[in-house]
Amino acid sequence: MLSFTFLSRYRSIVLAGIAALCLADAGSAQVGLGLAPMREEMTLAPGTTHSGLLTLANDGSDKVRIVTEMLDFYLDQSATPQFGPNYKREAEFSCRQWLTANPMELELNGKAQVAVRYTVRVPQSATARSYHCAIGFTTQPTAAESHAIGMRTAVQIVASLYVVVGKPAIEGTVKDLKLEYISDAANQGWRAVVTFNNPGLMHFRPQGDLELLDEAGAVLESAHFVPLPVLPQREQSFLFPLKLAAGGGTYTLRARVDLGGDEIQEATAHVVATKSIP
């Protein structure tokens, strides 16, 4: 059951429920390559063109050959960006086909850098919404290495682009707030899961804090939201690993977030941890 209270820029949401049971943007560092900026955001009108520069650097000592690609992307259920040459699920919000870059292939000496120019051409038919796409740079064997025998590791680094056409409104709410226990080869323990619903045509980045409170209302743990995008017309979960060394108990999860619109949202959920950590 949900109840809403509106107080000026402040919205309060109460999520009632009992549950029994981290995040990185596309710009994580890649060995050997550097890129700046790794995110570009722009507001453009239909039929207009925008050009910009990216600086690509070879941080290693050896020459590398680099191939440029225009990419789609989305965030998976763990908020990890997934990049690919063509995701049909992103077609309605993709700017990949509007995007060109120069050069498309180059060899870059060690400890050197080069400017890469990109251009976004918005079609006249583009409707008001936010679009997203990316430029990827992937290492390939150089001409001298192409005939050599041996294993090579390809390195990719990516710049994400967000193009806003018109003035689409930010629409989003905290849909769910829960506590869950995970136990697998990589992780074991409790985590909070905050799920946002974005029914609109504009992406947003939650900013704010998540808190875990005990039955007396004292804050036991807190964490900041990493401002990853919640893309248009989808749900996105944010994961917060918790300590909760004491195992079972009754707690309150409280999230206060600014989605970039006219309101700050607060969501609370009363949760029960019913499984103790071994």
CB-count exposure of residue 57 (10 Å: 0-12, 13-18, 19+)? middle
Supply the pLDDT for residue 111: 94
Pair (161, 109) in one structural domain: yes
Q: How many domains would you assign to the chain?
A: 2
Q: Considering 147, 165, 183, which residue would you say is the last residue of a domain?
A: 165
Pair (146, 50) in one structural domain: yes
Give pLDDT tens digits for 149-179.
555 678 999 999 999 999 999 999 999 999 9
CATH of the domain at 16: 2.60.40.10
φ, ψ at 188 (rounded to 5°): -150, 125
Give pLDDT tens digits for 29-53.
334 899 999 999 999 999 999 999 9
Query: Per the domain annotation, does 47 fall within a domain?
Result: yes
Pair (93, 183) in one structural domain: no
- 212 close to 219: Cβ distance less than 8 angstroms: yes
Pair (137, 178) in one structural domain: no
Lowest mean pLDDT among 71-80, 89-98, 245-254: 245-254
User: In angstroms, rounded to a whole number, what is the distance separating the alpha carbons of residues 23 and 39?
Assistant: 16
Distance of CA 56 to the CA centre of its chain: 22
Q: Considering 165, 192, 215, which residue would you say is the last residue of a domain?
A: 165
Pair (147, 173) in one structural domain: no
Query: Per the domain annotation, does 38 fall within a domain?
Result: yes
Pair (149, 182) in one structural domain: no
Write down how long the chain is: 278
User: In angstroms, rounded to a whole number, what is the distance separating the alpha carbons of residues 160 and 16?
Assistant: 37
Pair (155, 230) in one structural domain: no
What's the pTM value of the predicted model, to 2 decimals?
0.85
Give pLDDT tens digits for 81-126.
999 999 999 999 999 999 999 999 999 999 999 999 999 999 999 9
Supply the pLDDT for residue 151: 54
Which amino acid makes up residue 112? A
User: In angstroms, rounded to a whole number, what is the distance separating the alpha carbons of residues 219 and 213?
Assistant: 4
User: In angstroms, rounded to a whole number, what is the distance separating the alpha carbons of residues 192 and 220?
Assistant: 13
Query: Per the domain annotation, does 278 fall within a domain?
Result: no
Q: Encode the chain in three state secondary structure.
A: CEEEEEECCEEEEEECCCCECCCCCCCCCECCEEEECCEEEEEECCCCEEEEEEEEEECCCCCEEEEEEEEEEEECCCCCEEEECCCHHHHHHECHHHEEEECCEEEECCCEEEEEEEEEECCCCCCCEEEEEEEEEEEECCCCCCCCCCCCCCCEEEEEEEEEECCCCCCCEEEEEEEEEEECCCCEEEEEEEEEEECCCCCECCEEEEEEECCCCCEEEEEECCCCCECCCEEEEEEEECCCCCCCEEEEEEEEEECCCCCEEEEEEEEEECCCCC
Query: Per the domain annotation, does 230 fall within a domain?
Result: yes
Query: Per the domain annotation, does 87 fall within a domain?
Result: yes
Query: Per the domain annotation, does 261 fall within a domain?
Result: yes
User: In angstroms, rounded to a whole number, what is the distance separating the alpha carbons of residues 256 and 209?
Assistant: 6
Query: Per the domain annotation, does 232 fall within a domain?
Result: yes
- What mean pLDDT comes out for the span 232-255? 89
Pair (160, 252) in one structural domain: no
Q: Considering 130, 165, 200, which residue would you say is the last residue of a domain?
A: 165
Examine the pLDDT at 221 and tell me if it is beyond 50.
yes
Pair (85, 161) in one structural domain: yes
Pair (91, 136) in one structural domain: yes
Domain of 197? 2-24+169-273
Pair (107, 226) in one structural domain: no
Pair (264, 193) in one structural domain: yes
CB atoms within 10 A of CB 72: 22
